[in-house]
Structure 1
Amino acid sequence: MRIAIVAESFLPHMNGVTNSLLHVLEHLARRGDDVLVVAPSGSTVAPYVPDQLAGFLPAVLPAVLSSVVFEDEGPAQVHGFPVRRLPSFALAGYPDVRVAAGTVGRVRRLLGDFAPDVVHVASPFVLGWRGVLAADQLGVPTVAVYQTEMPAYATRYGVPWLEPRLWQRVQDIHRAATLTLVPSTFAHDQLVKHGIPRLRRWGRGVDTTGFNPNRRDDALRAELAPNGERLVGYVGRLAAEKQVEDLAVLTDVPGVRLVVVGSGPLKEALRERLPGAWFAGFRSGTDLARVVASLDVFVHPGESETFCQTIQEAMASGVPVVATGRGGPLDLVDSSRTGWLYRPGDLVGLRERVLDLAGDDAKRAAFARAAHASVQQRTWPVLCDQLIGHYEEAMTMRPQARPGGERPMLRTRRG
């Protein structure tokens, strides 16, 4: 199979989208498929974008992108597959978020030269939208992976009036795609309400070898909790949409120490909001697995998670979870068995559920065993084989090429 992957985000920046793609590429390499990755450059050279403009960016992207040219950086190959880079710029104050420049025509030429059987569009929004349009013009089926609830970010970043416009972009992308893959029941129902058809369920795998209870580090625990404190930890970006500041309700809990793993634009502000917490910075690989397995309770307060991979990694590490009852966690956490869910916005409930597990050794151990067992069949090879099945289904629905590369009509247009 020849597969083109158009990635909204990719190396050298690590996040949920990149992590998933690396596992997919590894799987495709083992199968012997031919793959092309199209992604934003990883350049750290970018102009200053004022905060006032950054907030309005989704509405003015075409004008901004038309005048921007940047250096190309990042790996040229991953798992032996070529990576073609498009110029990009970083959002002000958040250099790990890249927005790719380039036209639909440029993406169409890249795809046309490669001649894929299917185009995998990862978390599409800006570059991904061009990928869907370009593939449609070439008559190549697209599998769009819905992974980021971008419209929900509007309120978190102080521009709630943009949310309807962002949902319009999501609708345009996924109505035009051949298939849309959703990671959770919540995401499926959400897209159904927005009139998006041809939805299929595709979750995420977890590395049950890398993340497991044997990674627990007693020396690290002794350093962080010299008086036997329970370690309650969060892993993820330190950004507004993750709501890490909600963990402030735990800072005065006796016998509990907070652990915060990750980096992002709110790092310094959170240091002030969470006194006494240990900020581990960005961690990956076995180092991350060691920290996660050394926790007693994992907590995730974000309400905009379409899946939440770090919950699976905590469970694989034998750590029970306390998470908000919205989005992906609804499928991942079996409340009262593998962890607790609390009502969104109910920070008293968050505190009470952490206290329940931190203060009851027997219950915490039982939840930990159940959490570990619950993810053992969700390995990446299993999930990637499912993805291949979705590719094959999309290929049976191949659209017709549009002569001259003309802009396609959305398939949902009536009449």
Structure 2
Amino acid sequence: MRVAIVTESFLPQVNGVSNTVRHVVDELVDARHEVLVVAPGQGPAHYEGTPVVRVRSVGMPGYRSFPIGLPDAAVGHSLDRFGPDLVHLASPIALGVVGLRAARRLRIPTVAVYQTDIAGFARQYGLRADLVVDRWVGRLHRRVDRTLVPSSASMDQLAALGVRDLHLWRRGIALDLFDPSRRSRELHQEWTDGSRLAVGYVGRLAHEKQVHRLAVLAGLPGVQLVVVGDGPAREELRRQLPGAVFTGMLRGAELAAAYASLDVFVHTGDSETFCQTVQEAQASGVPVVAPAAGGPLDLVEPGRTGLLFDPADLGSLRDCVAKLLVAPGLRHDLADRARTAVAGRTWQRVVSELVDVHYRAVLDGAAAAA
């Protein structure tokens, strides 16, 4: 099968969309499918042997390092040359529309993966365009052959916009990487001096992630805050969280060791369509505290595989973490049950579902309509 992936973000950007596309490409290539990636902004022209077509972009207001794809004839030309059987639109909003138009012109079936709450994202940057963005997103997804959503909350959100052909498709985990065996006593000692518990966040340091909410935990006795990641809000967060350890961007084994060396993982933002870092922390054997909103509602069973806090009441975040600090048995039980729950969620399994169920459905539908 020949698959063209038109994505709103790809390497060297590090975020949920880029990481998901990377894993999808890896698994498709391993299964001997041919893949083309079309992405905005500057970057390498190949990824592990897969060609990457780079198109014109502009920096997003308030986040200039994040490129937004612009209308570019290179999209249509690259699809013409590649001759895909299917076009996969990864988190489409701007460049995805261009990819959709090109696919419709070529009469190629499309699968769109909804991954970013654009309206929520815009609100965090002071852009009051909720209704306009929602109309745009709804119209786009109503025009594709099939939309995949990562969570029940996302399904409800798009259904309210009139999108009908919705199917749940979750994310995989690199289970060979994220594992409790990665815990480093030396790293934990470096963070805490051996006298405190490491309570941490992993992810992009951007306003929509609301990492500043960790400030409510700073006064808890015996807590050392750890912030893993980088992004445009880093310096502001350093001022807001003066006692926190900031590790910067980590990848691979270093990232896995950071996850596993935490005593409690906290996700702070409430606009997540899925929240990959929650299940990576669960795979790493770390108890999770996350907002009772969006994707985490599907990933955390309260009191069994983690704790959920009310994002409208940051006192509840403090209470959840305080409860775990004094209950090592509860921390162990939550982490153990969560790790069991995510066992088997490999990227190979997830991408096999993508191909065998979702790609196949739209290809069969196109063949029947021909």
Partner residue of 1:228? 195
Q: 2:60 aligns with which of 66, 84, 91?
A: 91
1:182 corresponds, among 149, 170, 180, to 149
Q: 1:127 aligns with which of 95, 116, 120?
A: 95
Asked if 2 retains the 8 angstrom alpha-carbon contact of 1:316 and 1:372, the reply is yes
CA distance in 2: counterparts of 1:269 and 1:350, whole angstroms:
21
2:17 match = 17
Does 2:317 align with 1:350? yes
Contact preservation (8 Å) 1:139, 1:400: no
Match of 1:280 in 2: 247
Query: How big is the alpha-carbon RMSD for the aligned residues of Structure 1 and Structure 2?
Result: 1.5
Distance 1:373 1:243 in 2: 29
Query: Is 1:262 paired with 2:206?
Result: no
Q: Is the counterpart of residue 41 in structure 1 residue 38 in structure 2?
A: no
Q: Give the letter for the 1:80 counterpart.
A: G
**Where do residues 387-402 of structure 1 align in structure 2 (5 Å cutoff)?**
387-388=354-355, 389-398=357-366
- Secondary structure at 1:99's aligned position in 2? strand
Residue-by-residue CA offset, 1:341-389 (whole Å, 9 max, x unaligned): 1122210000000011121111111111111111112111110001102
Which one of the candidate residues 260, 283, 287 is aligned to 1:320? Answer: 287
CA distance in 1, matches of 2:192, 2:11: 35
For normalisation by structure 1, the TM-score amounts to 0.86
CA distance in 2, matches of 1:219, 1:227: 9
Whole-Å separation in 2 of the counterparts to 1:252 and 1:323: 19
Q: Which stretches in structure 2 are left out of the alignment for 5+ residues?
A: none
Q: How far has the Cα of 1:79 moved from its partner?
A: 2.7
Decide whether the 8 Å contact of 1:25 with 1:79 is kept in 2: no
Question: Following superposition of structure 1 onto structure 2, how do residues 364-403 of structure 1 map, counting pairs within 5 Å?
Answer: 364-388=331-355, 389-398=357-366
Inter-CA distance 203–232: structure 2 relative to 1 (3 Å threshold): same
Q: Indicate the structure whose relative CO is greater, using CA pairs within 8 Å and at least 6 residues apart.
A: 1
Q: Secondary structure at the match of 2:365?
A: coil
**Identity value in percent:** 48
Aligned to 1:410: none
Q: 1:158 aligns with which of 120, 126, 135?
A: 126
Whole-angstrom CA distance in 2 between matches of 1:164 and 1:101: 22
Match of 2:31 in 1: 31
Given that residues 227 and 244 in structure 2 are in contact (C-alpha distance below 8 angstroms), is that contact kept between their aligned partners in structure 1? yes
Contact (CA 8 Å) 1:141, 1:398: kept in 2 or not?
Answer: yes
Task: Tell me how far 1:205 sits from its aligned partner.
Answer: 0.2
- Structure 1 residue runs without a partner (length 5+): 43-73, 402-415
Q: What is the rounded CA distance, in whole Å, between the counterparts of 1:176 and 1:399 in structure 2?
A: 18
Contact 2:89 2:96 survives alignment (8 Å) = yes
Instruction: Tell me which residue corresponds to 2:218.
Output: 251
Runs (4+) off by over 3 Å: none
